[in-house]
Chains A and B, each alone.
Chain A
């Protein structure tokens, strides 16, 4: 168990750097909204979802619109349902209590690293959890550092810290590349996401692009390779 947690922690160190980087951007924004560091830390630990926290900070103005914020968080985090579902292979054979215990520390980053490891047969729930601890540490460090520096750095975008998010997920995405069969689903996902992002509010584009692209994958192989489908 300790071995799995440790290897998960280490495997997530590269992405932790980017988590810290765009975490610092959130920290700066939070400072500008007069959100205290204790409140920010509580958000980090209890929600552990970067994009949701960005939206919360964006909507943060007294009196807090609790219902609106909660609904926004629900929509933005719908992809966690898909993320949770895709983790089934990793959790195969585990008890219900184990599932409940391990699922809080799941963010895009350690989920992606774990799925990449899963494709190489190296993943475990403790690997996932260790990755979560690593990402959480970087996230807290980044946001709280950004919060502290909020009064000093007026324009974090000048240093492309905001691009760190895109950069690391580009890297993670392409580390999952599995050959030519991924071309059509990925092109479909990208196109759908870009179109949906412009037409629909919030983060629906992630759900639509993700599901749409995966559907292409399901249909694509089915037509061409029906007889050899043994997986």
Chain B
């Protein structure tokens, strides 16, 4: 805990600014979408966005997680495809990586 009162105000201000920016981006995106076309190429673009955003979020992480990270991600993907069970797939991925880390000091 930061000790002096000025720092406490600074903390609150920092968190407040971050919160305001984050919320603005969320609601801004939704409101702006009403102004955009709803057919053709643009719709295909928007429909594809969820998958490509998620994949972009994790691709560098998988790339830098090394061999066993790649194996973990691959097994997670296969398990998801086969079982549609997100929780089970996650456990398999984390388990593989955890075991590999324990075995190699």
Contact = CB atoms under 8 A, between A and B. Distances in A.
A24 interface: no
Contacts of A110: none
A interface residue count range (under 10 / 10 to 19 / 20 to 34 / 35 or more): 35 or more
Interface string A206-231: 11111111111111011000000101
- The CB with the most chain B CB atoms within 10 A, among A56, A158, A160, is that of A160
A62 B2 contact: yes
A166 B71 CA distance: 12
A141 interface: no
A14 B87 contact: yes
Nearest to A210: B53
A194 interface: yes
Contact of B90 (A17, A157, A192, A205): A17
Contact of A108 (B7, B25, B54, B61): B54
Contact of A87 (B21, B23, B30): B30
A121 interface: no
Interface string B29-53: 1111110100111111111111111
Contacts of A64: 7, 10-11, 14
Nearest to B73: A170
B31 to A, nearest CB: 7
Given A163-B65, A170-B89, 7 more contacts: A81-B25, A84-B29, A84-B31, A106-B26, A167-B92, A173-B58, A209-B53
Interface of B: 1-2, 7, 10-19, 21-23, 25-34, 36, 39-63, 65, 69, 72-73, 76-77, 79-81, 84-87, 89-90, 92-95, 97-98, 101-102
